[in-house]
Amino acid sequence: MAVGSPEHVAELLPSTTEFDDSAVEQLAATRASRAGRFRSSLRSAAIGAVSLAVWLGAWELASRYELELFFRFENIPAPSEVVLALGELLQTPKFAAHVGNSVMRIFIGFGIATCSAVPLGLLIGRFRLAAQSLLPPLEVIRPIPAVAWIPIAILLFSSAEQSMVFITFIGAFFPILLSTVHGVESLDRRLIFASLSLGAGPIDVFREVILPGAMPSIVTGLSIGMGTSWFSLVTAEMISGQYGIGYYTWEAYTLQKYPSIVLGMIAIGVLGMGSSFLVRFLGRRLMPWCKPEGSTT
Amino acid sequence: MTVQLAEPRRGAIRLRGVNIHFGEGKTAVQALSGIDLDVAAGELVSILGPSGCGKSTIVGAVAGFTRVSSGALEVDGQAVRAPGPDRGVVFQQHTLFPWKTVLENVGFGLKMRRVGKTERTRTAREILAHVGLSEFAEHYPHQLSGGMQQRVNLARVLVNRPRVILMDEPFCSLDAQTRLQMQQMLLRLWYEFHMTVVFVTHDVDEAVFLSDRVVVLSRRPGSVRAELPVALPRPRTVDLLTSQEFMSVKREALELLLDSGREQSRRGAA
């Protein structure tokens, strides 16, 4: 039987079709499982939505009927009132001014914290002398929560604006510093050795090895620091602010505009989440070498 | 009057009575004791010994990472004081810069010498071709297999045209087949780049297959137990591994290694 003759081809055919069959089956299986995954994610989304609706409904009823079961719902605005208040709010420029003020304070305070904590952390992580001389005073200050700094901050600075930025800075500083130190200390020493034996000078080692090597840890610190700086800022604004989302929320309480309290809280949550997401997003852009979580390539 | 050689061979290493200990006082550990060792320029010498005998400490000392406690350590008549690009180091694994592409890793040494980007890329690509990885220039290290990573490691060191390459168990985490390929590649590069190679390993086959000479160390604190010249013909190919001559050299090396262990335990018992 000659290769390529009809008989030969015929003999080959069954096996080829069998192979094709299995491939098709596999394809169908992956499609089915993809469809299955889609269905199951749809189901869990539906369950989540129903649950959320039930809670909101319960809240609505509790507020509407001024329920008093240990918690007093008497003055708590119902979700429907919050939605109405949101509609009104979006028509006034005041809310944007509040948000803009807070974002600006975060931007400056967090920026200063980043620019000071990262270089300081690199030095402390790299040089024993820097660690020995700088860490003790920092360790004394570190356990003091940023909020506890508010009175001193008011005394330290001539304007409320500066003291609020300072509180934001304090909130972000320590998480960033500690993560940077940790990043440098956990860097594989052999990478530093390798760079030295390839001709790197002391500054090269910092720029080419220590900074990028500590980067994943620094980005984690920035993300945590972003959260704590929002937390600190909102508290500072409630106490000594004029404008700002924390001030807005507290003002709503003092003026008895209760739906606005909830709006303020939601805005704070959204802003905090958004800025942490931004930090992580920028971090990923800065570190193309980092494998995304869970991927195998 | 002496005759000036056109291209003097470089990379002669000389250790005399080298002691190295880590730590101070009661916690001090003696890693090397009275090492006398000469490696001629262009020679390929393996250092063989049990784990923890201080093989890697020798590499660290010649590289300039570890300071010699007492004794003399010279490369081409100059005392070693600090790490430098004239002595390239290839570690066991995972020492490429993860944040740099293969091309950037290989070009690192040139960047440190402030070579311009165009020139750097050109030279790095040339060296990459030498180790057969031209197509992976834009990859990141974690995208490469262990063997490929070690080839990049070699290329990264070779770009500096070092006098000496120090290799610290570079192939020990690779599978047998890849390891054999890497050994042959090393021999080829050694021939092409005219350099001294000090190769630390605990694998007797590897030491004999590669080297001009095998130096056997004792247990910690490490000292030179024996030196075994390997007079096998070059170029060495896979066939050699199963030949009679190879076997007899290997047997000799094994005996020296076992002897050094036995002598130590006898000393310990006394």
What CATH code is carried by the domain that includes residue A163? 1.10.3720.10
Looking at the structure, tell me whether residues A226 and A87 fall in a common domain: yes
Q: What is the pLDDT of residues A121-145, one digit of tens each?
A: 999 999 999 999 998 999 899 999 9
| A287/B64 touch (CB, cutoff 8 Å), yes or no | no
pLDDT grade for B3, boundaries at 50, 70 and 90:
very low
Q: Suggest the residue from A188, A189, A192, A198 to mutate for an interface test with chain B (most B CBs closer than 10 A).
A: A198
Enumerate the residues of chain B whose CB falls inside 8 A of the CB of residue A189: none
| B84/A213 touch (CB, cutoff 8 Å), yes or no | no
Q: What's residue A242's pLDDT? A: 81
Does residue A180 form part of some domain? Answer: yes
Burial zone of B50 (CB within 10 Å; 0-12 exposed, 13-18 middle, 19+ buried): middle
- Render B46-75 in DSSP notation, one character per residue: EEE--TTSSHHHHHHHHHTSS--SEEEEEE
Looking at the structure, tell me whether residues A59 and A186 fall in a common domain: no
Facing B95 at nearest CB: one of A190, A208, A291: A190
> Would the pLDDT of A1 be above 60?
no
Give the C-alpha separation, A74 to A162, whole Å.
38
Higher pLDDT, A14 or A257: A257
Q: Count chain A–chain B contacts defined by CB atoms under 8 A.
A: 65
Q: How many domains does chain A have?
A: 2
pLDDT grade for A64, boundaries at 50, 70 and 90:
confident
Give the C-alpha separation, B128 to B115, whole Å.
17
Nearest to A267 by CA among A293, A237, A287, A222: A237
Q: What is the pLDDT of residues A191-242, one digit of tens each?
A: 999 999 999 999 999 999 999 999 999 999 999 999 999 999 999 998 877 8
Q: Suggest the residue from A197, A209, A290 to mutate for an interface test with chain B (most B CBs closer than 10 A).
A: A197
Mean pLDDT within B232-242: 90
Looking at the structure, tell me whether residues A66 and A126 fall in a common domain: no
Does residue A32 form part of some domain? Answer: yes
H or E segment to which residue B166 belongs: strand B164-168
Facing A200 at nearest CB: one of B94, B98, B112: B112
Residue ranges of chain B whose CB lies within 8 Å of a chain A CB: 63-65, 82-85, 87-89, 91, 94-95, 97-100, 108-109, 111-113, 140, 142-143, 156-157, 160
Distance from CA of B165 to the nearest CA of A (A): 11
Enumerate the residues of chain B whose CB falls inside 8 A of the CB of residue A204: 112
Whether the CB-CB separation of B75 and B86 falls below 8 Å is answered with: yes
Give the C-alpha separation, B191 to A206, whole Å.
35
pLDDT grade for B268, boundaries at 50, 70 and 90:
low
| A199/B97 touch (CB, cutoff 8 Å), yes or no | no
Q: Suggest the residue from B97, B103, B104 to mutate for an interface test with chain A (most A CBs closer than 10 A).
A: B97
Looking at the structure, tell me whether residues A47 and A161 fall in a common domain: no
Distance from CA of A211 to the nearest CA of B (A): 10
Q: What's residue B264's pLDDT? A: 56
Enumerate the residues of chain B whose CB falls inside 8 A of the CB of residue A213: 99
| B88/A208 touch (CB, cutoff 8 Å), yes or no | no
For the sheet with B78-79, list strands across it.
B29-39, B13-22, B70-75, B78-79
Facing B113 at nearest CB: one of A191, A199, A215: A199
Looking at the structure, tell me whether residues A180 and A143 fall in a common domain: yes
| B97/A215 touch (CB, cutoff 8 Å), yes or no | no
Does residue A292 form part of some domain? Answer: no
Higher pLDDT, A19 or B183: B183
- Chain A, nearest residue to B66 by Cα: A193
Does residue A23 form part of some domain? Answer: yes
Whether the CB-CB separation of A225 and A110 falls below 8 Å is answered with: yes
- Its domain, for residue A63, covers 12-76
Question: Nearest 5°: phi and psi at B213?
Answer: -155, 140
Does residue A297 form part of some domain? Answer: no
Write the DSSP symbol of residue B115. Answer: -
- Chain A, nearest residue to B157 by Cα: A198
| B156/A287 touch (CB, cutoff 8 Å), yes or no | no
Mean pLDDT within A237-262: 88
> Would the pLDDT of B124 be above 70?
yes
Higher pLDDT, A186 or A73: A186
Does residue A1 form part of some domain? Answer: no
List C-alpha distances in Å: B113 to A203, B90, B117, B159.
13, 20, 11, 11
Q: What's residue A65's pLDDT? A: 87
pLDDT grade for B257, boundaries at 50, 70 and 90:
confident
> Would the pLDDT of B135 be above 60?
yes
Instruction: State the average pLDDT for chain B.
Output: 90
| A291/B142 touch (CB, cutoff 8 Å), yes or no | yes
Q: What is the pLDDT of residues A67-102, one digit of tens each?
A: 887 888 888 888 888 988 888 888 888 888 999 999
Residue ranges of chain A whose CB lies within 8 Å of a chain B CB: 188, 190-191, 193-201, 204, 208-209, 212-213, 215, 287-289, 291, 297
Q: What's residue B154's pLDDT? A: 95
pLDDT grade for B9, boundaries at 50, 70 and 90:
low
Distance from CA of A190 to the nearest CA of B (A): 6
Q: Which residue has the tokens 């095998």?
A: B214
Enumerate the residues of chain B whose CB falls inside 8 A of the CB of residue A208: 97, 108, 111
Beta bridge partners of A123: none
Distance from CA of B158 to the nearest CA of A (A): 10
Q: What is the pLDDT of residues A274-297, one digit of tens each?
A: 999 999 999 989 888 876 443 333
Give the C-alpha separation, B217 to B206, whole Å.
16
Q: What's residue B266's pLDDT? A: 58
**Which of A21, A50, A76 is the last residue in one of the domains?**
A76
pLDDT grade for A19, boundaries at 50, 70 and 90:
very low
Q: Which residue has the tokens 């290769």?
A: A3
Q: What's residue B259's pLDDT? A: 81
Mean pLDDT within A99-121: 95
Looking at the structure, tell me whether residues A95 and A159 fall in a common domain: yes
| B83/A191 touch (CB, cutoff 8 Å), yes or no | no
pLDDT grade for A14, boundaries at 50, 70 and 90:
very low
Q: What's residue A13's pLDDT? A: 41
Looking at the structure, tell me whether residues A28 and A145 fall in a common domain: no
Looking at the structure, tell me whether residues A67 and A90 fall in a common domain: no
**Which of A76, A105, A131 is the last residue in one of the domains?**
A76
Looking at the structure, tell me whether residues A102 and A233 fall in a common domain: yes
Q: What's residue B206's pLDDT? A: 95
**CA B100 from chain center: how many Å?**
24
Q: What's residue B2's pLDDT? A: 46
Looking at the structure, tell me whether residues A243 and A182 fall in a common domain: yes
Enumerate the residues of chain B whose CB falls inside 8 A of the CB of residue A201: 112
**Which of A55, A76, A97 is the last residue in one of the domains?**
A76
- Type of residue numbered A160: A
Q: What's residue A297's pLDDT? A: 36
> Would the pLDDT of B146 be above 50?
yes
Give the C-alpha separation, A271 to A202, whole Å.
40
Does residue A48 form part of some domain? Answer: yes
Looking at the structure, tell me whether residues A157 and A272 fall in a common domain: yes
Does residue A90 form part of some domain? Answer: yes
Looking at the structure, tell me whether residues A107 and A88 fall in a common domain: yes
Whether the CB-CB separation of A186 and A217 falls below 8 Å is answered with: yes
